[in-house]
Amino acid sequence: MRRAFAALAITMFAALNTDLAGESRRTLDIYFLDMMGGGSTLIVTPLGESVLIDTGSLEPKHRDAERMHRACQQARLERIDYLITTHFDSDHYGGILELSRRIPIKRFIDKGPPPRHQQDNKTFRTLYPLYQQATKGNVTALHAGDDVPLKNDPAGRIPPIRLHCVASGKEIEGFGGDIDAPVKGFNIRRPDESENARSIALILTYGKFKFFAGGDITWNVEYHLAHPVNCIGKVDLYQVTHHGLDQSNNPTLLEALSPTVCVAMNGPKKGIQPNTFRALNALPGVKAIYQIHYNILYGDAGNTPDEFIANKTNPEGGELIKASVDAKQGTFTVCIGVDGPKREFTIP
């Protein structure tokens, strides 16, 4: 599969339009979409290339596909260049077929199908055939250590951009041991045999800016991303793993990431859970915690201040959160909606 990615990278390099001087886009834009506690994140590079990570849920019909398509329209996209499915939980790939009928998708990426024991349930038997129908079987498997071959300016007129996989299928870049084996001095939890632990985890860099999106990876995988070697380093923007649930967001990883801004893809009754909320607030470098919804279950123990919540009073609002990165200026902004008031943060 690495040969497939290398060949694709050469093709994309050869096809790169050299007339970048007239390129109107100058920021890296990241859209965190409201999937009501599911997952879908849209990335648009300064060269206009697009990556969609996950596609929300199938039900209720049309809701998530409509929201993803609307975000693509707001980003002025005519197609999605790469669609990455981090794992096969229903709230991360259910909307793929309808979305594929609304906008062309050039390339599909996943980690490979779930193990046999994860396939024997009604939800998988319903959704996976829709996934296969959308992809037509033309899917590239992404492994830990692989890059998604995004375009870069060969003349170096914009900072380099890279989308790199650090974990996939419960394998971690640079770690060859047993993820679930006991570790002296640390509470390794019982093995997670669900799809969550097998999620694709990605690090996106643009110049000095760094963004981590770990899908739904869980506690033991997170630990080995940070220990004994910090595989990722410090990040500027952190998509709070697993919607902010406490079975993820291992403090060892959070401390290693040391983010400036956190964004939680939570729901009205899903995340951020109190232990995770405390751990995020305890990080000394955090300047802001954003979340898609106000969670009615936790009150102040699981909710950031109102001005950082996209859908505070209307759970059905469908509002997104957008981050825009100006690597040359060394700053990034975050706002509610595509054109709401922006808060600016410095890239160290």
Q: Kindly provide the b/e burial profile for residues 163-194, where b requires at least 16 CB atoms within 10 angstroms of the residue's own CB.
A: bbbbbbbbbbbebeeebbeeeeeeebeeebeb
Cβ burial, residue 43 (10 Å; 0-12/13-18/19+)? buried
**288 phi and psi angles, rounded to 5 deg:** -160, 145
d(CA 204, CA 42) in angstroms, rounded, equals: 12
CA 72 to mean position of chain CA atoms: 16
CA proximity to 172, closest of 192, 143, 149: 143
CATH architecture of the region 2-10+25-346: 4-Layer Sandwich (3.60)
Please give the pLDDT value at position 301. 97
Q: What is the DSSP string of 121-180?
A: SHHHHHHHHHHHHHHTT-EEE--TT-EE-----TT-SS--EEEEEEEETTEETTB-S-TT
The sign of the torsion formed by the CA atoms of 110, 217, 209, 343 equals: positive
Contact 215, 206 (CB under 8 A): no
pLDDT digits over 25-44, tens only?
589 999 999 999 999 999 99
| pTM > 0.85 | yes
Residue 21's pLDDT is 40
pLDDT of residue 14: 43
- At residue 325, the pLDDT reads 98
- Tokens coding 92: 């991360």
Instruction: Give pLDDT < 50 ranges for the chain.
Output: 10-24
- pLDDT for the residue 15: 46
